[in-house]
């Protein structure tokens, strides 16, 4: 059906003549062997709901759910389950995550904490080599049983569907099970990530069997199938989460954590872990009150502890608010963004951990007074010497910048993870970040089940310092940087976004927000812009494109830059944003990465087709 409109504006995005496709029952999931990857579209505008993720198969599954009458939560769970198939090194039922949800009927934001937990028998010195008194090498901890936390992803899906969804868990998992059974076409990103993990994958019997057939990573253009994961999804669909948290799957996960299935010629030590079936039986996804700050008339909601995302993004916005960066040049705005981020990261390291174990001063960290006290430390012409000390969120903000003597600690959070967003025709919105931590998680696949287990416990600080809010403790959730975010304007959704990237998630979300809200960029421009991450370190980690464009102008301020990762590796990029913007008249703009991680996939249920 063709319609002509005078214009529809979203920032500088102007749409004139367009064709709106009719929303039928939606495409059927293909049952034949795929011959090519679905086309990826980084931007889509339309009606009837939207989904954005890093993967086209996953996005299409979410859109199909919406077109068949499912809501945003149904679509989010179906999309996430599909990401467990096509993005198995970043997400899956062997990991955890954070689910942020806007309910259109109540006009309220809710969150679910599905973060992994430390097993009940895990000691505080689990990462310390008794022969030296020093932490084991990080690479050894990653690929081991000791890094495996109790998975929370499946509990998150089940809880979200029961609270707000319209589909059963089995129906939500079915499209992903079908995808795993028929397979997907291997792209360069999947092969690259497999090759980057080949050395450790080859030392784990079930992992090598699944991901290194014939001793090599799957070739680009071939079809990768995971019938074991398909069977696991179907089993869970029939019997429910109890088969995972209290049945044979629980026993199998505990067994491989305690005795990793290494090859006879393995060179890694594969430390035994502490996971027990009782830990899985005791696991619960937790409803939490979201964080909230007011920024230029908008309400910005995020994830509270155990994540540090909501508090750190929120505090940084409060620090930026008095600076009015929208009035600044690009160089001045970026300098101010770096300084605000460093200050917020100092407070993150000093005060944020699992709130069941640590008295996190969330209200004070997010107060306007504390933000102003930290903001006044920013020198408009000179970068502060890093690391900067933490502040004092004590309620007394009469003096500028009084500080704390809390030590700064090394951050070891892995760079992988994935993020997706979904919205439906009723106005409900989901922003969901999920992970297995490092690219490839622990490297340990549950035999015969088709999924990798996480290495989330490496997010704890290795040294058991009693003053560290993120020290290892039994039953505790390690601090995370995942920052699923929903922004409201006048009580209605305006933006939803998030990203993978370890601790750079926080700066990626913050930079994308300021790009859109303060620097005059459209949402697609804000997502595509080159990134840099200042996490209270001596040098700013930046993509090479950022250094090339802004490095010379920012050097006189005292900023130095370290290129992200190594050229030709997935680590050379920072983040992979998926985002939505809600336009006047009920339309939605869905945005994904145009190039990072091979480019993302954004779609709307009934898209405009610009002529």
Catalytic residue among 79, 86, 207, 417: 417
Measured CA to CA, the distance from residue 163 to residue 161 in angstroms comes to 6
Strand 540-542 and strand 561-563: pairing? parallel
Mean pLDDT of 185-214: 97
Measured CA to CA, the distance from residue 278 to residue 537 in angstroms comes to 40
Measured CA to CA, the distance from residue 473 to residue 355 in angstroms comes to 12
**What confidence score (pLDDT) does residue 9 get?**
40
The pLDDT mean for the chain works out to: 92
The Cα-based distances of 212 to 69, 204, 217, 234 in angstroms read 39, 10, 5, 24
Inside any domain, residue 339 = no
Q: Which two tokens stand for residue 168?
A: 């059963």
Residues pairing with 224 in the sheet:
184
Measured CA to CA, the distance from residue 54 to residue 95 in angstroms comes to 18
Inside any domain, residue 22 = yes
Residue 80: pLDDT above 50? yes
Strand 492-498 and strand 485-489: pairing? antiparallel
Tell me, yes or no, if 417 is annotated catalytic.
Answer: yes
Residue 199: pLDDT above 90? yes
Mean pLDDT of 17-34: 41
Mean pLDDT of 30-57: 87
Report pLDDT digits (tens) over 480-529: 999 999 999 999 999 999 999 999 999 999 999 999 999 999 999 999 99
Inside any domain, residue 551 = yes
Range of the domain at 594: 2-287+415-610
Number of domains in the chain: 1
Q: Which of 272, 281, 299 is nearest to 243 (CA)?
A: 281
Whether residue 77 contacts residue 432, with contact meaning beta carbons closer than 8 Å, is answered with no
Exposed (0-12), middle (13-18) or buried (19+): which is 11, by Cβ within 10 Å?
middle
Measured CA to CA, the distance from residue 38 to residue 601 in angstroms comes to 9
**What confidence score (pLDDT) does residue 16 get?**
33
Q: Which of 393, 443, 446 is nearest to 142 (CA)?
A: 443
Measured CA to CA, the distance from residue 454 to residue 95 in angstroms comes to 5
Alpha carbon 228 to chain centroid, angstroms: 25
Q: 421 by DSSP, 3-state: which? A: strand
Contacts of 132 (CB under 8 A, 6+ apart): none
**What confidence score (pLDDT) does residue 177 get?**
98
DSSP 323-359: G-GGGS-HHHHHHHHHHHHHHHHHHHHHH-S-TTTS-
Measured CA to CA, the distance from residue 147 to residue 225 in angstroms comes to 27
| Full-model pTM | 0.94
Inside any domain, residue 323 = no
E-only strand ranges, 400-459? 418-424, 429-435
Inside any domain, residue 235 = yes
- Phi first, then psi: give them for residue 457, nearest 5 degrees: -70, -10
Inside any domain, residue 33 = yes
The CATH number given to whatever domain includes residue 168 is 3.60.20.40
Q: How confident is the model at residue 4 (pLDDT cuts 50, 70, 90)?
A: very low
Report pLDDT digits (tens) over 151-195: 999 999 999 999 999 999 999 999 999 999 999 999 999 999 999
Which run of H or E residues covers position 559? none
Mean pLDDT of 243-247: 96
Inside any domain, residue 336 = no
Please give the radius of gyration of the chain, using alpha carbons only, rounded to the nearest integer.
23
Report pLDDT digits (tens) over 410-438: 554 545 699 999 999 999 999 999 999 99
Q: How confident is the model at residue 34 (pLDDT cuts 50, 70, 90)?
A: confident
Measured CA to CA, the distance from residue 53 to residue 268 in angstroms comes to 34
Whether residue 126 contacts residue 274, with contact meaning beta carbons closer than 8 Å, is answered with yes
Q: 3 by DSSP, 3-state: which? A: strand
Contacts of 248 (CB under 8 A, 6+ apart): none
Contacts of 353 (CB under 8 A, 6+ apart): 305, 306, 360, 468, 469, 470, 471, 476, 479
**What confidence score (pLDDT) does residue 18 get?**
31
Inside any domain, residue 390 = no
Lowest mean pLDDT among 27-36, 121-130, 548-557: 27-36
DSSP code at position 375: H
Q: How confident is the model at residue 571 (pLDDT cuts 50, 70, 90)?
A: confident
**What confidence score (pLDDT) does residue 28 get?**
38
Lowest mean pLDDT among 10-14, 147-151, 444-448: 10-14
**What confidence score (pLDDT) does residue 404 get?**
62
């Amino acid at each position: 059906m063709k319609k002509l409109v005078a214009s529809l504006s979203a920032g500088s995005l102007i749409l004139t003549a367009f064709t709106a496709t009719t929303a039928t029952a939606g495409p059927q999931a293909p049952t034949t062997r795929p011959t090519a990857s679905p086309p990826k579209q980084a931007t889509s505008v339309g009606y009837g709901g939207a989904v954005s993720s890093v993967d086209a198969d996953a996005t299409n599954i979410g859109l199909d759910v919406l077109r068949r009458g499912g809501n945003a939560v149904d679509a989010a769970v179906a999309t996430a389950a599909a990401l467990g198939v096509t993005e198995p090194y970043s997400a899956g039922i062997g990991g955890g995550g954070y689910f942020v949800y806007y309910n259109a009927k109540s006009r309220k934001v809710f969150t679910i904490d599905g973060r992994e937990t430390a097993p009940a028998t895990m000691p505080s010195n689990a990462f310390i080599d008794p022969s030296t008194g020093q932490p084991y090498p990080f690479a050894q901890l990653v690929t081991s049983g000791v890094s495996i936390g109790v998975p929370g992803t499946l509990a998150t899906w089940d809880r979200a569907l029961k609270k707000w969804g319209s589909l059963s868990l089995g129906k939500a998992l079915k499209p992903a099970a079908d995808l795993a059974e028929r397979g997907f076409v291997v792209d360069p990103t999947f092969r690259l990530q497999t090759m980057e993990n080949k050395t450790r994958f080859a030392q784990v019997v079930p992992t090598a069997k699944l991901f290194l057939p014939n001793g090599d990573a799957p070739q680009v253009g071939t079809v990768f199938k995971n019938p074991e994961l398909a069977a696991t999804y179907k089993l869970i669909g029939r019997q429910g989460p109890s088969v995972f948290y209290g049945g044979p799957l629980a026993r199998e996960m505990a067994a491989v954590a305690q005795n990793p299935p290494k090859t006879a010629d393995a060179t890694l030590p594969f430390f035994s872990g502490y996971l027990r079936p009782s830990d899985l039986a005791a696991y619960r996804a937790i409803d939490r009150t979201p964080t909230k700050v007011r920024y230029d008339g908008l309400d910005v909601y995020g994830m509270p502890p155990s994540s540090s995302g909501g508090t750190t993004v929120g505090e940084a916005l409060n620090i930026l608010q008095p600076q009015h960066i929208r009035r600044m040049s690009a160089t001045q705005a970026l300098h101010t963004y770096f300084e605000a981020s460093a200050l917020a990261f100092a407070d993150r390291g000093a005060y944020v951990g699992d709130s069941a174990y640590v008295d996190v001063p969330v209200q004070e960290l997010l107060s306007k007074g504390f933000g102003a006290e930290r903001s006044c430390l920013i020198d408009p012409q000179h970068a502060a010497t890093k690391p900067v000390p933490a502040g004092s969120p004590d309620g007394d903000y009469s003096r500028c910048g009084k500080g704390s003597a809390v030590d700064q600690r090394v951050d070891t959070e892995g760079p992988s993870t994935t993020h997706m967003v979904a919205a439906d025709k009723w106005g409900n919105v989901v922003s969901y970040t999920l992970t297995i931590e490092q690219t490839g998680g622990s490297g340990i696949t549950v035999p015969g089940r088709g999924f990798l287990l996480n290495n989330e416990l490496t997010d704890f600080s290795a040294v058991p310092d009693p003053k560290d809010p993120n020290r290892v403790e039994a039953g505790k959730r390690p601090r995370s940087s995942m920052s699923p975010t929903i922004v409201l304007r006048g009580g209605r959704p305006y933006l939803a976004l998030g990203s993978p990237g370890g601790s750079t998630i926080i700066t990626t979300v913050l930079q994308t927000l300021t790009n859109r809200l303060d620097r005059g960029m459209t949402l697609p421009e804000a997502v595509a812009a080159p990134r840099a991450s200042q996490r209270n370190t001596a040098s700013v980690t930046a993509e090479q494109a950022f250094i090339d464009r802004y490095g010379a102008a920012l050097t006189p301020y005292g900023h130095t830059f370290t290129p992200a990762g190594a050229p030709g590796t997935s680590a050379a990029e920072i983040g992979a944003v998926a985002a939505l913007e809600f336009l006047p008249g009920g339309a939605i703009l869905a945005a994904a990465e145009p190039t990072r991680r091979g480019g993302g996939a954004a779609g709307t249920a009934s898209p405009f087709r610009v002529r």
